[in-house]
Amino acid sequence: MTRLPSKQDRAHRYREAEQFLAALDPDWQALVTHVGPCIHQPRPERDPYEALIRSVVYQQLHTRAAERILQRLIDIYPHGHCPTPEQVLATPYETLRACGLSGAKANSILGLAQARLDGIIPDQATALQMPDEELIKQLTTLRGIGRWTVEMMMMYTLEHEDILPADDFGVREGYRHLKRLDKAPSARALRDIGQAWAPYRSVASWYLWRMPKHTPVAAPAPNKVHRSQRLQAKTPRPQGPGKPIRFAITQSSLGALMVAESERGICAIALGDDPNILLEQLQDRFKTAELIGADSLFNQRVAQVLAMVEEPTQGLDLPLDIQGTAFQQRVWEFLRQIPAGQTLSYTELAKRLNMPNGARAVARACASNILAIAIPCHRVLRQSGDLAGYRWGLERKKTLLERERAQ
């Protein structure tokens, strides 16, 4: 029977993998030298069933929010750990939802429990004996379980040493920067490229996640970082040639979150389903700027933006670089005065701006906002009270309003 490697075996294999990758070419050698020894930390004590339950809970959620929901789920049961399939199936649907799970996640977890009883989710010993592609094919038939989720389980729970999660944005972006490409390869292309990294593709992925994006640039002065939000511009202005725009893309409970910062402050906050599309939109918005990756200080500001997304009532205490016409800025400034949990109609907003016939112009200004939540255009509705268009999707607008009203 295939066994999981001991810690000593694992450390030895990591050293072999480092030497193998460093010998591939000078780029890989530089990356391994820069990052240092691999300290990939799998969790083999977890069963595949438990790993998949945890994956579903954590999907599209900030870590802290997911941990709270997972703890509420565990607290339902007297033993204080992941519930058995029988216990999950005996739990009322409303009780699962009360933990904070969405309807889709609650149904996915019930499906996982039944799949374990039906033998679709194997135990660890069986999973270790299965060919990788066979296990992926079998588990991706389950609701809420995609290839990436299975590959992460294989890397972290089963300790497979030759897994390449080619769909992962961070892995593909890491390779793009490693080879100084204009565009990241597709998942299919990366799988072909990654054949050369076998049998150490898991360690190769670990290193690509840590690939430096660019040489760090000077961070804003501390007094700028902690100032309250303020308008930085009076008219639209294109970013000058070569001017730096620092950016990062992470995951939030509302999907992919892109945050960008100019030398004047946060200049774009966007939400979406596809990180690649968010990056393309940023490139289109600031065509002449030099896009650079995040440094440690910028990552701290990204964390503040992410916290605002998860709890919009807390606001954002960072400088904003707001670029728009004088009219747009007038509308956006008024939007920032609408208290969390409250809404206005486009008509009401136009009247308060002394433009009784300006509802359409106000709506266009709201639609032009590129600073999601920081400029809360989600708090403006139709006169009927119905949700109107939202740059980042009506479902996100609905979720934001529900969160604000509940807090």
What tens digit of pLDDT does each residue of 259-270 get? Answer: 999 989 999 999
Number of CB atoms found within 10 A of residue 405's CB: 12
Residue 401 near residue 361, CB atoms below 8 Å: no
* Average of per-residue pLDDT across 240-265: 84
Fold of 222-407: Arc Repressor Mutant, subunit A (1.10.10)
Domain ranges of the chain: 7-42+163-209, 48-156, 222-407
pLDDT at position 190: 94
From the candidates 168, 192, 273, 274, give the one annotated as an active-site residue: 168
Residue 373's identity, in one-letter code, is I
Q: Residue 331 and residue 350: Cα distance in Å, rounded?
A: 9
Q: Residue 394 and residue 98: Cα distance in Å, rounded?
A: 24
Number of CB atoms found within 10 A of residue 80's CB: 8
Q: Residue 188 and residue 147: Cα distance in Å, rounded?
A: 13
- In this prediction, residue 234 has a pLDDT band, given cuts at 50, 70 and 90, of very low
Residues facing 262 on adjacent strands: 265
Active site residue 168: yes
Residue 307's identity, in one-letter code, is A
Q: What is the pLDDT of residues 176-222, one digit of tens each?
A: 989 999 888 998 999 999 999 999 999 999 999 888 754 333 333 33
Q: Residue 199 and residue 138: Cα distance in Å, rounded?
A: 23
pTM metric for this prediction: 0.51
Q: Residue 370 and residue 270: Cα distance in Å, rounded?
A: 7
Residue 190 near residue 166, CB atoms below 8 Å: yes
Q: Which CATH class is domain 48-156?
A: mainly alpha
Question: Residue 331 belongs to what H/E stretch?
Answer: helix 326-335
Residues facing 265 on adjacent strands: 262
Query: Measured between alpha carbons, how far apart are the two ends of the chain, in Å?
Result: 52
List all residues 6 or more positions away from 269 whose beta carbon is below 8 Å from its beta carbon: 257, 258, 259, 260, 305, 370, 371, 372, 373, 374
Sign for the pseudo-dihedral over CA of 378, 100, 268, 173: negative
User: Two tokens at 174?
Assistant: 């890491």
* Average of per-residue pLDDT across 304-319: 85
Alpha carbon 376 to chain centroid, angstroms: 21
List all residues 6 or more positions away from 90 whose beta carbon is below 8 Å from its beta carbon: none
Q: State the architecture of 7-42+163-209 in CATH terms.
A: Orthogonal Bundle (1.10)
Sign for the pseudo-dihedral over CA of 268, 269, 270, 274: positive
How many angstroms separate the Cα of 162 from the Cα of each of 61, 154, 224?
Answer: 28, 9, 45
Residue 198's identity, in one-letter code, is A
Q: What is the pLDDT of residues 46-55, one digit of tens each?
A: 789 998 998 8
Q: Is 222-407 in the same CATH topology as 48-156?
A: no
Q: What is the pLDDT of residues 359-375, one digit of tens each?
A: 999 999 999 999 999 99
Half-sphere exposure of 383 (CA within 13 A, CB side): 7
Residues facing 372 on adjacent strands: 375
Q: Are strands 290-292 and 244-252 parallel, antiparallel or unpaired?
A: parallel
